[in-house]
Structure 1
């Protein structure tokens, strides 16, 4: 074998480039012939002076010499392993003769190398058991489940319809499946695809020959078409699960990224929900339906005002993706057919908007009323009152009981005062913790008035008490604090505090919160159950950030940050699709548990030497364990992802 470099000219612009092939020579009678064993592509950049060593190691691997007598450099070993795996995959079901002249004929693709195969499909051989070796082990369980979800909604067909070529489709799929199975940056995904994953075998593509730039370019393309892709995916899930759009959940979150954000238009310092205010932030606004699938998403600067985003997001849901030049917002030209991927909100049957107090300003509520939207929002009302005797139980189990008291206002709105025992216990514990810390700080300050080298100045003591009130504002409002000074008024001699409960204080009714709605026909239970769907959106944000690797973002350019977040969002929708399918079968596990369970199903090559000296390579997936079998059966997937490959190498 040897490597041949060929100079080629492109038909587009006439520029020259070099392509590389793995070639073998053989003799027929008195003539020497050559055949191409493997096309290495134009991206093969291995140093020419190391080609002989590389060829030597490739031949050794496919002949079963997995451990070299003298170790090769790591770079040569890695490249040789990759090329050998591709070579064995190409000659699946055939006999690979490295030196056909020894056999007297070119038998590049001799069916089944054993001669006659019995009708029952068995292939019986005498082998040396001591020669058995396992190699090229790659994960396949999680990849197979993730890929099946992607193909079920015909996501790859949509990408091709958008103009993606074959390599761009494989790169985009690699990005998304990588975010589902092994979440991280595009760099870590590229390493995972090349070194650890069997996704390329399931797709029939070679990720080993794809550059990191291919993943970045695929990310750019996904973001370029994000409106169409997002809408298409939502429509497909609607058909798949029979979803009716009756509830719309709206909320925002932010995440941080590394670096200064100099080249990122969205980078801004703000209030980090992850307590990382030292880093630039970027904000994700997300609209979900009641089933948990994302309907629409937008990316904003990290310091965006939450209330200011509502009208824009709802308007975009009412607007077709590609309106014509004379087309009004929310309308379609007369006589044109609406494509499924462009379907806006049905204005005749508007969904109920659900959002938390951070977005529910009076202006936003007035706008929703003006547009005719039904809504359920968390009230910003500070003074809360609750009468248990007038309340109705809306939820009761061994862990928690929730009661709701309904008040109908003259302006047509409903106020629903809800009391949760679990929330009351949580708020009491938080209040107690802050009160304890506040009292400990005051006691420490008071004890120091009689000790050397401690704070005693009346002015400094008052300043310290002020800082403590600011630090523990939630607890400090319940205390009256007095200080005693000496005759000169320059030295503090005593600090006294007393806890005072105020009936009008919001903390006087722990566990109580108020909902506002204009759904006057709904009862207390339906109003509360609809609002509690908002916790699903919070769970989505947790999944995006922890399970699916949205944070931190390492990109510095705006479109790369947008692409990274959008890929994570696509991964979430496919993960949610898988989880809903499992939930229908009674399996309600988080994605982290599902992913961990599937991670031990591997695809590997078994190498054996036959009695006739031929080397047998068989590549297949291992049988799933009991937990994996339950998941695969629930999803109606085959237990052995990827086809079984068998290659015979004759030395």
Structure 2
């Protein structure tokens, strides 16, 4: 194998376009011929290293994992990148080749000599991808005007965080080194960069409300959801950096014990079966009473405008002990919302009566104090 430089010139322009191809000499009934193995694009490598790169690609295709001669890390990286593309091309060509229906092809295999390389996960990715197809994500992406590349990156960001939650930096590593999702999509994630993922995250967030509304409708159709009970739930997370440019990043009570970091609060609306209806991002100091009520009214106003509307007029608010202060509860009561909270303390007056065992190791007692029902575990 060797590398050939191709120069093309536009008759109407003095500019010369340069590309490179990997060429292989093959024997044919009509004599030796040159065959294009793969187009390399514009190769960023000194000409004196071309033969070294071609030889290393040929070694990898023959199964030699280690080079027999010292080579630079740059050439090794390029060789493995192009080898992966060649193997993918060969697999694609085999699929397209016509095979007779009843044709049999038996081969002898030495099982002691079988080895594997570049192993990646595919099972969880396949399940996530099929779920996206069933929900109609790809039709939605087309309606929103996503290009094929944007659709593939969005799939990586959705399935990747389902299978392997992490930052864009970790998602990039996962896509390049650990996952075979790109092969399922018929693309190549080996050259994606951080900025590509950041820009695509912005694109998804731009269409957030449309996507959430679409998923709400699809989940209602698929699972016959009644939406007779709707819950509000609040949580927060922290920024590892200063988040100085983000106005909603504020200090508050952190559920992850990181009150030393700026926080952001996520409010979600769920139905009785746990399906999310919509979500909103709020200031990180949502534990403050006035902020909490403003946030609840804000998200309730959004849900009330949904089409079709929810079947309940006043949803139930779910809060954990972190923000279930007495001030917050008083304001929630004053605004007419029902609520479910984790109490910060035991009831002052314990009623007599035995506990009822609801499952192994868990006993409960139901108590009614005023207009509130306590479930003491």
TM-score category, normalised to shorter length:
0.7 to 0.9
Q: In 1, distance between residues paired with 2:343 and 2:150?
A: 48
CA deviation digits over 1:370-416, x for unaligned, max 9? Answer: xxxxx244498987433235x9x776333222222346x6xxxx322
Q: In the alignment, does 2:369 pair up with 1:416?
A: no
Q: 1:31 to 1:7 in 2, by over 3 A?
A: same
Name 1:239's counterpart in structure 2.
221
Q: 1:234 to 1:111 in 2, by over 3 A?
A: closer
- Structure 2 contact 23–38 (Cα < 8 Å) conserved: no
Q: In the alignment, does 2:207 pair up with 1:225?
A: yes
Q: In the alignment, does 2:318 pair up with 1:318?
A: no
Name 1:388's counterpart in structure 2.
352
Q: In the alignment, does 2:349 pair up with 1:367?
A: no
Q: In 2, distance between residues paired with 1:394 and 1:247?
A: 26
Stretches of structure 1 that go unaligned for 5 or more consecutive residues are 96-108, 321-341, 370-374, 421-651
Question: Which structure 2 residues correspond to residues 404-443 of structure 1 after superposition, within 5 A?
Answer: 404-406=366-368, 414-420=371-377
**Deviation at 1:223?**
0.5
* Residue aligned with 2:282, SS: strand
Q: In the alignment, does 2:266 pair up with 1:265?
A: no
Name 2:3's counterpart in structure 1.
2
Q: In 1, distance between residues paired with 2:139 and 2:126?
A: 18
- Structure 2 contact 232–315 (Cα < 8 Å) conserved: no
Q: 1:153 to 1:6 in 2, by over 3 A?
A: farther
Q: In 1, distance between residues paired with 2:45 and 2:295?
A: 52
Stretches of structure 2 that go unaligned for 5 or more consecutive residues are none
- Structure 2 contact 4–20 (Cα < 8 Å) conserved: yes
CA deviation digits over 1:452-505, x for unaligned, max 9? Answer: xxxxxxxxxxxxxxxxxxxxxxxxxxxxxxxxxxxxxxxxxxxxxxxxxxxxxx
Q: 1:343 to 1:40 in 2, by over 3 A?
A: farther
**Deviation at 1:299?**
1.2
Q: In the alignment, does 2:191 pair up with 1:209?
A: yes
Name 1:537's counterpart in structure 2.
none
Which of these residues, 212, 231, 234, is aligned with residue 252 of structure 1? 234
- Structure 2 contact 22–54 (Cα < 8 Å) conserved: no
- Structure 1 contact 21–38 (Cα < 8 Å) conserved: no
Task: Give the TM-score taking structure 2 as reference length.
Answer: 0.81
**Deviation at 1:125?**
3.6
CA deviation digits over 1:269-288, x for unaligned, max 9? Answer: 22222221222212111221
Name 1:345's counterpart in structure 2.
310
- Structure 1 contact 245–351 (Cα < 8 Å) conserved: no
Q: 1:261 to 1:164 in 2, by over 3 A?
A: same
Q: In 1, distance between residues paired with 2:37 and 2:162?
A: 35
Q: 1:353 to 1:45 in 2, by over 3 A?
A: farther
**Deviation at 1:171?**
0.7
Name 2:292's counterpart in structure 1.
306
Name 1:397's counterpart in structure 2.
359
Task: Give the TM-score taking structure 1 as reference length.
Answer: 0.49
- Structure 1 contact 267–280 (Cα < 8 Å) conserved: yes
Q: 1:49 to 1:200 in 2, by over 3 A?
A: farther
Q: 1:160 to 1:38 in 2, by over 3 A?
A: farther
Which of these residues, 298, 317, 332, is aligned with residue 354 of structure 1? 317
Q: 1:381 to 1:194 in 2, by over 3 A?
A: closer
**Deviation at 1:17?**
10
- Structure 2 contact 243–262 (Cα < 8 Å) conserved: yes
- Structure 1 contact 307–361 (Cα < 8 Å) conserved: no
**Whose Rg is larger?**
1
- Structure 1 contact 360–377 (Cα < 8 Å) conserved: no
